[in-house]
Amino acid sequence: MANSTCILLLSLHLLLIIATAIQVKHAHAPTLQPVNSTAPTAQPNYPSHGFTEGSLQPQECGGRCDVRCSATQYRKPCMFFCQKCCATCRCVPSGTYGNKQTCPCYNNWKTKRGGPKCP
């Protein structure tokens, strides 16, 4: 009887230590701060021709989309949608991926499901 009582007390003590450690871990976790959307943000200095909205002529889209779609294994659909987006937005972001902040129209055009329309 004494052994089972000792084991029970030891188990309860161990659970108390674990619970305290978990609470301490969560108490020191950093909290997320809200982002102030009204604060001005510094915009990087991008070259303007072809990378900012409305700066391309429709005939220039092919070359820009060639570069944009050069690293994908799905080149044909990438080129189709890139040229469609370029014809509407008249810009193509630099590089093969990302950098969509330079062309808001290209970045904000979404599919019916809410995904990005432009590559």
How far, in Å, CA of 82 to CA of 47, rounded?
A: 20
Domain boundaries, the chain: 58-108
Q: Does the global pTM surpass 0.75?
A: no
pLDDT in tens, 51-101: 556 678 888 889 999 999 999 999 999 999 999 999 988 889 888 888 888
Q: Under a CB-based contact definition with an 8 Å cutoff, are residues 77 and 87 in contact?
A: no
Q: Under a CB-based contact definition with an 8 Å cutoff, are residues 96 and 84 in contact?
A: no
What tokens does 73 get? 């294994």
